[in-house]
Homo-oligomer: A and B are copies of this chain.
């Protein structure tokens, strides 16, 4: 074991503070990574503040962070895919059994024995896993991704969660040329959804409640922007969408969007409202529409997404912050006051 600097919270209401955590020495199959940047995902905030206590209660101290980009500093003897100096990424997953049907299908996120990057029982050290708000992490090479060299590492970090979370359902539901795709909610996830839908060749429509977001939506790649509170504008698009990505975690009227789907159209939620959302069944019956959820993506698909980003030069729009501004960033995150993701520059931690 070795010590690594990190930022943690010690209760649901305490602010982040500097601390030291234990990391394991790399085993044969492990990659040790010096973290350069770590994105701030809304899940980090939910977990730090124990807002998912019913589903995934938080164990304190908690070190969040699952949008990690860094440089390989050491590899285990059996590691074949990486060498010291490689630019790599780690997302929401750091382990899975590798043998179940989900793993064999490349869907490690659904493996009954998968391990999340933070706040999950740590098989090596006991306690829980600690995430990327740290200067260093050690991860089995199966869960380490290659970051294309042309991508800005600060902007690449959010691809590891916001990127794959929006890319995966689009691939699963056939987004591409000739398709009409909607994105609901222009935040950390939504802005990646717009970039992907556009890059995949779909006619891309952004739904927003804020007229002020229109220019930005167009800049990100939208072909059209619809003000979702304008019933006339919404009605013009009735029955026309092949796929809608809904990235709104707050309660909202799903049926207004379901009615915009074409026959066999699908609306996928990637946000997770706490309370059940009312779904009008008639809206589903009449065009054989479906409503579904999606959760990050498997490792092979995450690599595919990163390679796609390399080819199309796609990164997240980020505001880079020193780790000392973490508490301030969380306050701004609650107000959606970020375009569109915070990325922590870990040099600020090393300098402490």
Contacts and interface: CB of A to CB of B under 8 A. Distances in A.
A280 B286 contact: no
Q: Give this chain's copy count.
A: 2
A284 B269 contact: yes
A286 B294 CA distance: 7
Given A276-B279, A279-B279, A281-B273, A288 B110 contact: yes
Interface in A287-325: 287-295
Contact of A293 (B107, B271, B273, B288): B288
A280 B276 contact: yes
A164 to B, nearest CB: 13
Nearest to A288: B294
Nearest to A284: B293
Contacts of A275: 278
B288 A291 contact: no
B276 A278 contact: yes
A278 B280 CA distance: 9
Given A55-B282, A110-B287, A276-B281, 14 more contacts: A110-B288, A255-B276, A266-B290, A269-B284, A269-B285, A271-B281, A272-B282, A277-B278, A278-B278, A283-B293, A284-B292, A288-B292, A288-B293, A289-B293
Interface residues of A, number: 34
6 contacts: A172-B288, A266-B290, A272-B282, A277-B278, A288-B293, A291-B292
Looking at A289, A291, A293, which has the most chain B CB atoms within 10 Å of its CB?
A: A293
Contacts of A292: 284, 288-291
B295 A286 contact: yes
Contacts of A272: 281-282, 285
B276 A110 contact: no
Nearest to A52: B282
Interface string A175-194: 00000000000000000000
Closest 6 CB pairs of A and B: A284-B293, A276-B278, A290-B292, A285-B293, A276-B280, A290-B290
Interface in A234-285: 255, 263, 266, 269-273, 275-285
A291 B279 contact: yes
A102 interface: yes
Contacts of A286: 110, 293, 295
A136 to B, nearest CB: 30
Given A276-B255, A277-B278, A279-B279, A284 B288 contact: no
A286 B111 CA distance: 10
B282 A291 contact: no
A266 B271 CA distance: 19
Contacts of A288: 107, 110, 172, 292-295
A294 B271 CA distance: 25
A47 to B, nearest CB: 14
A270 B286 CA distance: 10
A281 B269 contact: yes
A291 B268 CA distance: 10
